[in-house]
């Protein structure tokens, strides 16, 4: 199984364990002549707290050549797919799913804090070993 597929399966299972129903795998977002895809669409059907809450999840592994390169790519995807979702499905919230250690190394550090101060983004951390969601931001 490729690294991409392994992370995909891990986040999918972690969301199910967290009470989400996977409704799209992937979620297709046609725009003009192009077809774009977000990895997962999910919905919270049962939990009272978040009943009807719908999310889209872009899964990032951060296994590229540098953390800054990976961060740039992840932010760009968040902005691009976030804009298309805001247009097509304004009640669905986009999250970047990143390994928990990346969340600690980047989003808890000055570079991530500055980004989150000036740009509204949503991030969820996942533990690739335990297969669990570790944190939702915000």
- For residues 54 and 40, is the Cβ–Cβ distance under 8 A? no
| Span of 38-46, 49-57, 69-77, 92-100 interacting with a second copy by CB under 8 A | 69-77
Cα gap 14→81, rounded to integer Å: 22
Q: Based on CB atoms, which residue is closest to a second copy, 52 or 110? A: 110
- The least distance separating a second copy from the CB of residue 88, rounded to whole angstroms, comes to 9
Query: Which of 44, 41, 43, 45 minimizes the C-alpha distance to 59?
Result: 41
Matching residue, tokens 């070993």: 129
Q: Which is nearer to a second copy, 22 or 36 (CB)?
A: 36
Tell which positions 9-38 bind a second copy, by CB under 8 A.
Answer: 31-32, 34, 36
Name residues whose C-beta falls within 8 Å of residue 13's C-beta, 6 or more positions apart in sequence: 131
# chain residues binding a second copy, by CB under 8 A? 28
Shorter beta-carbon distance to a second copy: residue 4 or 87 = 87
Question: Which residue, 84 or 102, has its beta carbon nearer to a second copy?
Answer: 84
> 87: closest CA among 47, 133, 56?
56
**Residue 77 binds to a second copy (criterion: CB under 8 A):** yes
Kindly state the smallest distance separating residue 62's Cβ from a second copy, in Å: 13
> What six digits make up the tokens of 81?
């797919």
Identify whether the C-beta of residue 110 lies closer than 8 Å to the C-beta of residue 90: no
Residues near a second copy, by CB under 8 A: 31-32, 34, 36, 68, 71-80, 82-84, 86-87, 109-111, 114-115, 117-119
């Amino acid at each position: 199984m490729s690294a991409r597929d392994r992370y995909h399966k891990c986040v999918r299972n972690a969301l199910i364990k967290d009470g989400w129903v996977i409704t799209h795998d992937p979620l297709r977002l046609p725009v003009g002549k192009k077809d774009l895809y977000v990895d997962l669409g999910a919905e919270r059907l049962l939990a009272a707290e978040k009943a009807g809450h719908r999310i889209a999840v872009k899964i990032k592994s951060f296994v590229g050549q540098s953390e800054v390169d990976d961060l740039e790519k992840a932010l760009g995807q968040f902005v691009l797919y976030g804009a298309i979702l805001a247009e097509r499905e304004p009640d669905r919230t986009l999250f970047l799913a990143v390994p928990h250690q990346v969340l600690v190394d980047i989003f808890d550090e000055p570079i991530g804090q500055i980004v989150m101060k000036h740009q509204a983004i949503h991030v969820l951390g996942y533990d690739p070993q335990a297969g669990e969601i570790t944190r939702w931001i915000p």
